[in-house]
Each structure stands twice: as C-alpha cells, then as structure tokens.
Structure 1
Amino acid sequence: MRISRYIIPLLLIVLFNCNNKRQLPDPLEAGWKNKNVCKVLEENKELRVLKCRFPPNIGHELHYHNPHVGYTISGSKFRIKDTTGIREVNVPSGYSFSNDKITFHEVLNVGDSTAVFLIMEYR
C-alpha cells in the first residue's frame, strides 16, 4: 500500500495545531539517526546561533524552529517535508531566509555536496 503524498503534510498540520512545540525537538536537539548535525556558536537571553552541517545523505529529523533568520554558507539540494508537502529544492550558497513564527520541517541533503547553515533564533 502506498501512502498518499498528502498524509505527511496532514500529520504535520495536526502536530503543529496541537500548540505544543515541545512535542518536537528544536534544531539543536534534533539530529539525524542519533547524531548531532548542529552546534551552538553563541547563546544568550536574546539569541541563539547554530551552525548546522549536512553532508550528502544526511538530514535533520522533524523539528521546530522558533522565529529565526538563516544563512546558507554552503548549499546543496534538499528534500523538504513540511505542511506544504514534499519537494526538492536547490539551496544556493549565500542564500538567506527568515520566519517570524514557529515553523517545523524535516530535511534531507539529496545533493552531492556538504551544506552548511547558520541559524539565528530569537528567544
């Protein structure tokens, strides 16, 4: 039996609508197959800065992010699962992004190069 491509987004919506982000790990707690992918570069009462590294075929298990700004030091191609579905995107080096609300997703580096991100989360 093949699972509909709409099941994962539906489950993510249900998890998110529970209004309990602690049901999911944050990006530092989440890893990939019990291995860390992020480390703290700076942390204070207003901001936490993470550096996350994803070699090919390494991802980031389902997790939430507080409002944040991100920057791609080294890009690659990723498979992303979130409330909009599952898609593959090329994330270029030098790309910046931001979210002003709590978000959640799972990602997998399906490219052939190691990707490195800086994530700056507001407290």
Structure 2
Amino acid sequence: MTTELLVLMVLFQMKHMFADYFLQPEFMRSGRDTYLHFGRLAHAAVHATGTAIALAFVPTPLTLLAILAIGDLVIHFHIDWLKARVTDGSGLTPADAGFWRAAGVDQAAHQLTYVAILAVWATA
C-alpha cells in the first residue's frame, strides 16, 4: 500500500503540473471569475481525467475511481473559481503580493485535495 500511495502522489503531481501549466489554453484561463465558465469546467475536466488515469495505475474499483475523479472535478472547479474571484475581483496582478498569496492558497488547496483523495482511496 505504501508503494501505491507514493506512486499515486507522484502521478497526481505530474498530472497537476501538466493540467495547470501545459494543458490550459487561453479559453480556460480568461474570464474565470464568472461562476458558470465553460473554460474553467473544461480545465477541471482535464484534472478529473488525469485523476482517473492516475487511479487506473493502481488497483482501484471503477466506482471509486469515478467518484474520486468527479470529486476532483467539482473541488478543482470551485477552488479555481474562488481564486479568480479574489484576484480578478480585487484587480490583483502578478505584480501584487496578494496575487501570489492567492496563488499559494489555491495550490495548497489543490494539494490538500490530493491528500484527501489518497486518504479515501487508502481506506476504501
């Protein structure tokens, strides 16, 4: 189980890097402070797909895989929306310290999501 948890954590880190920094075109990044934003939904779906792929590398019942991937989608969608509301709503840019604090809280929230996914997976 320890090896599988470590493999999952590495896969989640790789998935997060690619989904947030390589697979996020302009339509996913702009206008994200609007709640019903198709780009943010598509971005969260990329994350959910990555979560499903990562979980497929270790023994995971299909129902659990689906629940965890959908949970990641819903949580990721809302974390990103909240960050956009804070940064865009306050007019913060990368030149502002508040922007980077919001980005740090956003990334920490995503990492804690992965800890929760791992905890659910390990106890299922």
- What is the TM-score when the length of structure 2 is the normalising length? 0.24
The higher-RCO structure (CA 8 Å, 6+ apart) is: 1
More strand by share: 1
- What is the TM-score when the length of structure 1 is the normalising length? 0.24
State the structure with more CA Rg: 2
More helix by share: 2
